[in-house]
Structure 1
Amino acid sequence: MSGPLYVPVLPTKPHASGALGRLWPDVRAALRPLWNLPPLPGVSEEALATVVGKYVGPVSAASRHGGWLDAPFGEEAQTAALAEALSVYCEWGRLLPVTGPERTGAQQAAAVGTARRCLRGLGVRVRVPGEWDGGLGEGVRGLLVRIGPEIPVDLLLDMGAVLDDRPDAGKEALRALDALVPLAVWRSAALLGGGFPRVTADMLERGPAEGSRADWRMWHEVRATGRAYAPLLGYGDYGVQHPSALAQVPAPSGKGGPPWGVLRYTTDSSYLFVRMLTRGPDRIAVNRAAARRITELPDFRGGEAGPGEEWLSDCAHGPLSDSGGVGGPREWLRAGNLQHMTYVVRSLSGG
């Protein structure tokens, strides 16, 4: 069993594909994203191919080293059209289809059919948002029978949100892995979890706030158990957003958002975040000061550490007359993911 060093769980949105495309080549080569199509409520079967292309085309182009492509929020009525639209990027690109034990029979059959045509494998995403349920193991066993031994399978154990209020996540992940690993000759296995908290305006009123990297601790806890599979277990997280962000319905273009946003920074043990302004006369000064708060932290690794740190340094020290230098919510997310993904790969590779 072997696989990528790092599996970031990302939305098929411009800030994420933009971040992947701007990573340094050695960092990009070490990761394989699990891309997630957002909910597309009410989109007709006839329009799905066009809408899917809008979201998946850019991420497919950015995923030069491969990854997985999932549509976890697809409506039952969209199953056939979604499978057909996604199969284009699996059969002719480098992305692999995904299914799971809780999916409908139609979705499972469609994903398996795509995997048979692309001949490169299938991701089995097993969600454990709370305690491990032994029934999930039986569901995976039945799914593997349906897949057959000729298709290479990758285990994506998704623990969902892993915050400080879930101290037993490591134990539940271990129970799940003990049950799932013996079920197949997995080509790879990765433990996924999201540790970035939901950020509210109240959290940022007094300046920079902090959340612990409980997802990082969970993975290390499992790795330290001495299980035979532990050294081969890949690491995955949801980047610098709470896992619930994947389920956000795309907002209509032209609609204004909140007057504030978030600038993010990942350290060895924590996620740091500070408020940014999206509008107002003081926007440039406030946002440059916010970036400086991060660059002046003892944990800041300098503008040469990666493209995320470089952007933060430029934002912190730019002129107050240059409104373009402070960006907006999409660029703040992109910079946060750039810094985060670079730091995770460096940490995993010992760099």
Structure 2
Amino acid sequence: MTEPVTEPIYVPALPARRSGFAAYGGLAPDVRAAVAPLWTVPPRVGPERTPGRRPTHPPDPDALALGGHLHRALTGIARVQRDRPAWVDTRHVESGPRAFVTGPYPLRPVTGPERAAWQQVACAEAAAAGGGGLGVRVRPDPAPGGRWAEGVGRLLHRIAFAHCPVDLLLDLGAVDDTDDAAPRTALHALELLGPLHPWRAVVLLAGAFPRSRPEGYGAALTETGRADRDLRDLLRHTGGETGPQPLYGDYGAHDPASADRVSDTGHDPLRGAVRYTTRRTFLVGEVRAGGPGPHHGVRALARDIVDSDDFRGASYSRGDRWLQACADGTGPPGTGHPDAWICAGHLQHLTHTARELRRSA
């Protein structure tokens, strides 16, 4: 089936691992055509990484194993993307210039102002060779003054030799209902960085799925707000006059640190969660560890979601269909694996967000 050719309107930041690949690959063609992911290759070993900071030690003690890990991730990205555009951030696994993406498909390597000069140059060389352009991922400093933007200017000067399209990926990280500074930080960053370069695209990324249990957690199903969605109103009033209109981006149905950990499940307190995206909230249900037949708890949570007024019906997406089958007991046994819950969460979230953005365009 030939996919429609459209310009992407939505950029989810997804980890380059099985649950992310399955979710993006499982989107309906019309939805996939509207989505351009920012893939981040997660670390192979070690503690959770801190985005926006240059690591003080090599990313992996086993160079051979690291190379295999990176190769598998890039192969998975290329397979699921086919000929659709996407950005690829290898910040957690970079041990040398061989980490960068080239090939006859529109994958765009990612650099940033905090990264070493050799990384920035190698990224630009790979972008020029691949022909798809590159992304500059920036974590803006909320402090006034904007001296951090000078690093972006130096980076742009260093990579100017590549003569390729450059995209600005403005990454706010985690935002929640109490984060009043996020809109101001975004506007300030756009004002500072917008005039620095004729950006091909500008993406504003923020994430709202909770990293820890939200207030009131403990009921079978809890609602938590999606503060990232409130930033959409900001997009309608920025850009367009001196640069491109910012694209909406988020972290799918997972917390923003997902790709900074070795595993999706890891030690995350909400690793055992069934999730659903409503218009302005997440419905979150924790799957209790231990006890006989944990799949019964998963099915009970799925029934709570399916019975809620916010459920959009099994025909809406593969994620909604999985939840319906899980609730009815018609899905496969062993539905209690976190990878399946995360994949279903991403599927329905990406579908809902892309279609909502298309309606409001």
Cα distance in 2 between the residues matched to 1:278 and 1:183: 50
Alignment partner of 1:349 is 2:358: yes
CA distance in 2, matches of 1:129, 1:3: 30
One-letter amino acid matched to 1:70: D
Number of residue-to-residue matches in the alignment: 339
Superposed CA deviations along residues 181-236 of structure 1, whole A, max 9, x for unmatched, are: 11111111110011111134996422211211111112323423586368721010
SS in 2 for 1:158: strand
- In structure 1, the partner of 2:166 is 153
The 8 Å contact of residues 9 and 236 in structure 1, kept in 2 or not, is answered as: yes
> Shift of the alpha carbon at 1:95?
1.3
| AA in 2 matched with 1:286 | G
Mapped partners of 2:191, 2:198: distance in 1? 14
1:224 aligns with 2:237: yes
Query: RMSD between aligned alpha carbons?
Result: 2.7
Where do 1:187-198 residues align within 5 Å? 187-198=200-211
Alpha-carbon separation, structure 2, partners of 1:6 and 1:259 = 25
Shift of 1:37: 1.1
Structure 2 residue runs without a partner (length 5+): 1-5, 45-58
1:323 pairs, out of 333, 336, 339, with: 333
> Which deviates further from its counterpart, 30-39 or 50-59?
50-59
Once residues 215 and 258 of structure 1 are traced to their aligned partners in structure 2, the CA distance between those partners, rounded to angstroms, is 21
Aligned equivalent of 1:332: 341
Q: Note the C-alpha offset of 1:245.
A: 1.9
Q: How far did 1:53 drift?
A: 1.6
User: Partner residue of 2:318?
Assistant: 307
Alignment of 1:24-39 (within 5 A): 24-39=28-43
Q: Is the 8 A contact 2:10 2:247 kept in 1?
A: yes
- Does the CA-based 8 Å contact 1:222-1:230 persist in structure 2? no
Equivalent residue for 2:95, pick from 79, 83, 86: 79
Alignment partners' CA distance in 2, 1:132 and 1:161: 20
Distance 1:129 1:302 in 2: 41
- Measured in 2, the distance between the counterparts of 1:126 and 1:182 equals 15
State the partner residue of 2:48. Answer: none
The residue type paired with residue 86 of structure 1 is: F
Partner of 1:236: 249
Correspondent of 2:85 among 54, 60, 66: 66
CA distance, structure 2, for counterparts of residue 120 and residue 285 of structure 1: 47
Q: Which moved more, 1:145-154 or 1:235-244?
A: 145-154
Secondary structure at the residue paired with 1:350? helix
* Equivalent residues in 2 for 1:1-351, closer than 5 Å: 4-40=8-44, 41-64=59-82, 65-74=84-93, 78-80=94-96, 83-87=97-101, 90-128=102-140, 130-131=142-143, 134-148=146-160, 150-200=163-213, 204-224=217-237, 228=241, 232-250=245-263, 261-277=272-288, 279-318=290-329, 323-324=333-334, 326-350=335-359
Query: What is the distance in 2 between the residues matched to 1:238 and 1:129?
Result: 20
Percent identity (aligned):
39
User: How far apart, CA to CA, are the structure 2 residues paired with 1:186 and 1:226?
Assistant: 11
Distance 1:6 1:258, change over 3 A: closer
Letter in 2 for 1:318: G
List alignment gaps of at least 5 residues for structure 1.
none
More helix by share: 1
Aligned mates of 2:143, 2:357 — CA distance in 1: 27
Distance 1:251 1:265 in 2: 17
- What is the TM-score normalised by the length of structure 2? 0.86
Letter in 1 for 2:60: G
Shifted more, 227-236 versus 269-278: the winner is: 227-236
Cα shift readout 1:253-299 (whole Å, capped 9, x = no counterpart): xx999897101111111111112246532423222111010011111
**Residue 117 of structure 1: CA displacement?**
1.2
SS in 2 for 1:309: helix
Q: Is the 8 A contact 2:7 2:34 kept in 1?
A: no
* Mean CA deviation greater in 19-28 or 110-119: 110-119
- Mapped to 1, the partners of 2:354 and 2:264 lie a distance apart of 32
8 A contact 2:9–2:34 mirrored in 1: yes
Task: Name whichever of 16-25 and 136-145 sits farther off.
Answer: 136-145
Equivalent position amino acid for 2:273 in 1: V
Aligned partners of 2:12 and 2:188: how far apart in 1? 23
**CA contact 2:287–2:297 (8 Å) conserved in 1:** yes
Describe the SS at the equivalent of 2:228.
Answer: helix
